Amino acid sequence: MPVPAFAPGQPVFGYGRPRQGYGPPPSSRSGKTGLIVAGVLGLVVVLGIGVVIGIFVSGDDSGGNSAAAAAPSSAAPTTTTSRREAAPGIYSMSAITNACDLVDPTPLHRWSSTPREDPRHREFPPNTSDGGNLHCAIRYTSPSTIDDDATVDEAGISLQAQFTGAESAPAYDRWKQTDTAATGAGLASGEVTGIGAQGYWHIATTDTSNGMTYIVGVHDSNISVRVEVAVLRAKGEPPVNRDDLDTIATNQARQALNGLKTE
């Protein structure tokens, strides 16, 4: 798979087709994308000469169709066909009308604080493939402290919460397999404890540490939650600290579980 390179002066965040494996897991609904899924939000990091960090909107939840890549609407589509309840558990999306209400982006302001656009969110009720899912993506930008004329500093966060279907495996299993499969320089993964029943973390960074993404995925009862935090700084600025992103992603995963718990 070709790896795009970051070129100074070009936009860092962008909309387009995500790399295979990043974003919500594949589903049998891919043939009904216009009705069931209008967009999937997720931060993606591609390591090349530098870092390209993007929030992508694709045409289906498998990341395999970019026909709806530019869809700007934050309103969830309404479908009344083939719905079913999520598997029994202590979490529910019934009280959530905006997935971004579960996200606190203020810790990102230490790096960038100017909204690049309005937060993007999707809320999908239970259907034939899963018990319902939520998506939120928020991103910020700011002028470089090294070169005020080059606005290349960016920070973003994404949240995915998917409720397990009555006859399906948790999305957590697929997320973990995909996120932690990559190895090599700048990549590492491990286990997360103390949040839910099980969890993992994954980090991807450049050799200069000026660009970094940190993922935390957790599973508990009938829900899987995946948080991705990404920060890009201009060359010459202080490097991104792994512990900072770990704290943000871990706290956000815990906050999402608390916000969706019914008991």
Tokens 């973390």: give the residue. 201
Up-side HSE of residue 7: CA atoms within 13 Å toward CB? 3
**φ and ψ of 249, to 5 deg:** -65, -40
For residue 256, what are the domain limits?
84-260
Mean pLDDT (whole number) for 134-143: 93
- Whether 38 is in a domain gets the answer no
Residue 30's pLDDT band, with cuts at 50, 70 and 90, is very low
- The helix or strand, by DSSP H or E, that contains position 211, with its residue range, turns out to be strand 211-220
Total tally of structural domains belonging to the chain: 1
- Whether 247 is in a domain gets the answer yes
- Whether 48 is in a domain gets the answer no
- Whether 228 is in a domain gets the answer yes
Which segment of 77-86, 138-147, 169-178 scores lowest on mean pLDDT?
Answer: 77-86
Give the CA distances from residue 128 to residues 38, 53, 239, in Å, rounded to whole numbers and listed in that order: 16, 32, 45
pLDDT, tens digit (0-9, with 9 covering 90-100), for 53-96: 443 333 234 333 222 223 333 444 444 434 455 567 999 999 99
Which segment of 10-14, 97-101, 154-158 scores lowest on mean pLDDT?
Answer: 10-14
Which segment of 3-17, 141-155, 206-220, 228-242 scores lowest on mean pLDDT?
Answer: 3-17
Mean pLDDT (whole number) for 149-155: 74
- Whether 161 is in a domain gets the answer yes
Mean pLDDT (whole number) for 238-248: 93
- Whether 89 is in a domain gets the answer yes
- Whether 51 is in a domain gets the answer no
CATH of the domain at 162: 3.40.1000
Measured at the CA of 11, the angle between CA 135 and CA 229, to 5 degrees, comes to 35
The pLDDT value recorded for residue 147 is 65
- Whether 92 is in a domain gets the answer yes
The pLDDT value recorded for residue 202 is 97
